[in-house]
Protein backbone atom coordinates (compact mmCIF):
# COMPACT_ATOMS: atom_id res chain seq x y z
CA UNK A 1 0.00 0.00 0.00
CA UNK A 2 1.50 3.33 -1.01
CA UNK A 3 1.13 6.56 0.92
CA UNK A 4 -1.78 7.93 -1.19
CA UNK A 5 -3.75 4.71 -0.89
CA UNK A 6 -3.13 4.59 2.87
CA UNK A 7 -4.35 8.16 3.36
CA UNK A 8 -7.44 7.60 1.20
CA UNK A 9 -8.33 4.34 2.99
CA UNK A 10 -7.77 5.69 6.49
CA UNK A 11 -9.82 8.79 5.61
CA UNK A 12 -12.76 6.63 4.53
CA UNK A 13 -12.47 4.56 7.71
CA UNK A 14 -12.37 7.71 9.84
CA UNK A 15 -15.49 9.10 8.18
CA UNK A 16 -17.40 5.85 8.59
CA UNK A 17 -16.24 5.58 12.24
CA UNK A 18 -17.47 9.10 12.91
CA UNK A 19 -20.86 8.25 11.36
CA UNK A 20 -21.17 5.18 13.61
CA UNK A 21 -20.23 7.19 16.71
CA UNK A 22 -22.69 9.96 15.80
CA UNK A 23 -25.50 7.41 15.31
CA UNK A 24 -24.66 5.84 18.69
CA UNK A 25 -24.75 9.19 20.47
CA UNK A 26 -28.08 10.03 18.83
CA UNK A 27 -29.58 6.70 19.96
CA UNK A 28 -28.41 7.39 23.52
CA UNK A 29 -30.10 10.81 23.46
CA UNK A 30 -33.37 9.19 22.47
CA UNK A 31 -33.29 6.66 25.35
CA UNK A 32 -32.38 9.35 27.90
CA UNK A 33 -35.55 11.27 27.10
CA UNK A 34 -37.90 8.28 27.14
CA UNK A 35 -39.00 8.73 30.79
CA UNK A 36 -42.55 10.02 31.12
CA UNK A 37 -43.27 13.42 32.62
CA UNK A 38 -44.01 13.39 36.36
CA UNK A 39 -47.76 13.87 36.84
CA UNK A 40 -49.50 16.73 38.61
CA UNK A 41 -51.75 15.22 41.27
CA UNK A 42 -54.03 15.95 44.18
CA UNK A 43 -55.51 12.84 45.80
CA UNK A 44 -56.29 11.37 49.20
CA UNK A 45 -55.38 7.99 50.67
CA UNK A 46 -57.49 6.51 53.47
CA UNK A 47 -55.09 4.72 55.81
CA UNK A 48 -57.91 2.48 57.08
CA UNK A 49 -58.60 1.11 53.57
CA UNK A 50 -57.17 -2.35 52.91
CA UNK A 51 -55.62 -1.14 49.64
CA UNK A 52 -53.46 1.27 51.66
CA UNK A 53 -52.72 -1.00 54.64
CA UNK A 54 -49.01 -1.27 53.76
CA UNK A 55 -48.69 2.42 54.66
CA UNK A 56 -49.33 1.55 58.29
CA UNK A 57 -45.92 -0.14 58.51
CA UNK A 58 -42.50 1.50 58.19
CA UNK A 59 -41.11 0.49 54.79
CA UNK A 60 -44.53 -0.05 53.24
CA UNK A 61 -45.56 1.73 50.08
CA UNK A 62 -48.35 2.05 47.51
CA UNK A 63 -48.69 3.39 43.97
CA UNK A 64 -51.42 5.80 42.98
CA UNK A 65 -51.80 8.08 39.94
CA UNK A 66 -48.14 7.73 38.90
CA UNK A 67 -46.87 8.41 42.42
CA UNK A 68 -45.18 6.11 44.94
CA UNK A 69 -46.13 6.91 48.54
CA UNK A 70 -43.93 5.31 51.20
CA UNK A 71 -43.98 5.19 54.99
CA UNK A 72 -40.34 6.03 55.84
CA UNK A 73 -40.80 6.22 59.64
CA UNK A 74 -43.68 6.03 62.07
CA UNK A 75 -46.25 8.59 60.87
CA UNK A 76 -43.79 9.95 58.29
CA UNK A 77 -44.55 9.66 54.59
CA UNK A 78 -42.83 10.55 51.33
CA UNK A 79 -44.41 10.78 47.88
CA UNK A 80 -42.31 10.78 44.69
CA UNK A 81 -43.07 10.27 41.02
CA UNK A 82 -42.87 6.52 40.42
CA UNK A 83 -41.28 6.59 36.96
CA UNK A 84 -37.47 6.53 36.97
CA UNK A 85 -36.09 9.54 35.13
CA UNK A 86 -33.70 7.32 33.16
CA UNK A 87 -36.08 5.22 31.07
CA UNK A 88 -39.31 5.20 33.03
CA UNK A 89 -39.18 1.94 35.00
CA UNK A 90 -41.22 1.90 38.20
CA UNK A 91 -39.18 2.49 41.34
CA UNK A 92 -39.77 0.63 44.62
CA UNK A 93 -38.96 1.62 48.19
CA UNK A 94 -36.59 -0.41 50.38
CA UNK A 95 -34.13 0.33 53.16
CA UNK A 96 -34.50 4.10 53.01
CA UNK A 97 -34.05 4.36 49.27
CA UNK A 98 -36.18 4.45 46.13
CA UNK A 99 -34.66 1.88 43.79
CA UNK A 100 -35.08 1.28 40.08
CA UNK A 101 -34.94 -2.41 39.07
CA UNK A 102 -33.90 -1.75 35.46
CA UNK A 103 -30.37 -0.30 35.60
CA UNK A 104 -29.61 0.26 39.27
CA UNK A 105 -30.83 3.83 39.64
CA UNK A 106 -31.32 4.93 43.25
CA UNK A 107 -32.91 8.00 44.81
CA UNK A 108 -32.99 9.34 48.36
CA UNK A 109 -36.19 10.32 50.17
CA UNK A 110 -36.03 13.80 48.60
CA UNK A 111 -35.98 12.22 45.15
CA UNK A 112 -32.32 13.09 44.51
CA UNK A 113 -30.25 10.62 42.49
CA UNK A 114 -27.74 8.75 44.66
CA UNK A 115 -26.60 6.05 42.21
CA UNK A 116 -26.92 4.82 38.64
CA UNK A 117 -27.76 6.48 35.36
CA UNK A 118 -30.88 8.61 36.11
CA UNK A 119 -30.20 12.10 34.73
CA UNK A 120 -32.49 14.01 37.09
CA UNK A 121 -34.34 13.69 40.42
CA UNK A 122 -37.81 12.26 40.94
CA UNK A 123 -40.53 14.85 41.51
CA UNK A 124 -41.37 15.19 45.19
CA UNK A 125 -44.97 15.81 46.27
CA UNK A 126 -46.36 17.43 49.37
CA UNK A 127 -47.85 14.92 51.81
CA UNK A 128 -50.30 16.18 54.42
CA UNK A 129 -51.16 13.68 57.16
CA UNK A 130 -54.44 14.33 58.95
CA UNK A 131 -55.82 11.52 61.11
CA UNK A 132 -56.38 8.50 58.88
CA UNK A 133 -55.99 10.53 55.70
CA UNK A 134 -53.01 11.39 53.56
CA UNK A 135 -53.30 14.09 50.95
CA UNK A 136 -50.71 13.98 48.15
CA UNK A 137 -50.43 17.06 46.00
CA UNK A 138 -48.02 18.72 43.66
S1 LIG B 1 -34.84 3.02 33.95
FE2 LIG B 1 -32.68 2.91 33.92
S3 LIG B 1 -32.09 3.22 36.01
FE4 LIG B 1 -34.25 3.37 36.00
The pTM of the full predicted model, rounded to 2 decimals, is 0.78
Tell which one of 28, 34, 35, 89 to mutate to probe ligand 1, the residue whose CB is within 8 A of the most ligand atoms. 89
| Confidence at residue 49, expressed as pLDDT on a 0 to 100 scale | 98
Q: Is residue 1 scored above 70 in pLDDT?
A: no
Task: Write the pLDDT tens digit of every residue in 85-115.
Answer: 999 999 999 999 999 999 999 999 999 999 9
Cβ neighbours for 27, distance < 8 A, ≥ 6 positions apart: none
**Quick one: which atom of ligand 1 is closest to the CA of 89?**
1
The confidence score (pLDDT) of residue 21 equals: 37
Report the separation in Å between the CA atom of 70 and the middle of ligand 1, taken as the mean of its atom positions. Answer: 19
Residue 5 alpha carbon to ligand 1 centre in Å: 47
Q: Is the pLDDT at 118 greater than 70, yes or no?
A: yes
Spacing, Cα 24 to ligand 1 middle (Å):
19
Using alpha carbons only, give the angle 55, 120, 69 rounded to the nearest 5 degrees.
Answer: 10
pLDDT at 58: 98
Name all residues whose Cβ lies below 6 A of ligand 1: 84, 86-87, 89, 100, 102-105, 116-118
Is residue 80 a contact partner of residue 91, using CB atoms and an 8 Å limit? yes
pLDDT at 2: 60
Q: Is the pLDDT of residue 15 over 50?
A: no
pLDDT of residue 102: 98
Exposed (0-12), middle (13-18) or buried (19+): which is 111, by Cβ within 10 Å?
Answer: buried
Atom of ligand 1 nearest to the CA of 104: 3
| Per-residue model confidence as pLDDT tens digits over 38-75 | 999 999 999 999 999 999 999 999 999 999 999 999 99
Amino acid sequence: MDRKEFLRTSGILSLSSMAVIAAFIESCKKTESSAPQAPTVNFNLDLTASANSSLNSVGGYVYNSGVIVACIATNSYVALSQACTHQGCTVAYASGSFNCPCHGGRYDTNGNVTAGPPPSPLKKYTVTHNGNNLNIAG
